[in-house]
Amino acid sequence: MVVGRQPSVFVRPVSMEEGRRLQRLSRTAKDPVRLRRAIVVLMSAQGQAVRDITSLMQVGEDYVRDAIHAFNEREFDALAPKWSGGRPKTIGERVREHIRLIARTSPADWTIAAFSTWSLAKLAAHLVEWHVVPAISRETLRRILREGGVSWQTTTTWKASTDPDFIAKMHRVLALYDTPPTDGRVICVDEFGPLNLQPRKGRTWRQASRPRRLRATYNRYGGVMHMLAAST
């Protein structure tokens, strides 16, 4: 009994335009899946058997046959990869928004005095302790915050004068800058107070482009003007 050779699978006859398109894809396709499928179909169109293609491409015979059959049925649409959506989210959108809200709070709001800002590890442990989530990794937490526009930002400070005549004095000073007197000089004095009056900026999780702002305090005394007043 003579057993004949098993018939091989070949791609359907391709036109000249389809052949040029396959050649172009086999040279320029950036997606590795599309590139590999285009080469398999092109080699089959050139008369290469499935066994020869698997040997040259280092892929399985089932992969080659599936690529050829798919091209015969759907033509060039079969070369495009079909990525799945991935594993569904295990943390719902309401919980994610709640996590972002907690990240924007201060540890002091939760009567925590051991640290003043949330790190990813401390925030993750806090979420588990308060039963917000059963478990969460730092990378998942980082991704949730980034998707919600919450970033690690420097706290900014701002000052506002308590002088009721501040606006009038400001306009007077600015007018001297714009129109200095012709018969005199304008002398500018810049006051630099003690170092403990300089703001100490911290860092915290905040909404993007909306840093936390702390108003400067006027409860401490010092500086050049205070010493001049004391000397007079």
Q: Which residues, 6 or more positions from 88, have their beta carbon under 8 angstroms from its beta carbon? A: none
> Cα–Cα distance between 39 and 144 in angstroms, integer?
40
Domain boundaries, the chain: 16-79, 93-148, 158-231
Cα(13)–Cα(72) distance, rounded to whole angstroms?
9
**b/e sequence 180-210, b meaning 16+ C-beta within 10 Å:** eeeeeeeeeeeeeeeeeeeeeeeebbbeeee
Please state which of the ranges 143-152, 188-197, 215-224 shows the lowest mean pLDDT.
Answer: 215-224
The verdict on pTM exceeding 0.85 is no
Mean pLDDT of 88-92: 81
The mean of the pLDDT values for the chain is 78
CA 204 – CA 151 distance, rounded (Å)? 8
**Amino acid symbol at 170:** M
Segment 48-86, tens digit of pLDDT: 888 888 888 888 888 888 888 888 888 888 888 776 656
DSSP per-residue letters across 27-81: HH--SHHHHHHHHHHHHHHTT--HHHHHHHHT--HHHHHHHHHHHHHHGGGGGS-
Contact 46, 68 (CB under 8 A): no
pLDDT at 2: 41
Contacting residues for 160 by C-beta, under 8 A, at least 6 apart: 215
Dist CA 148 CA 207 (whole Å): 8
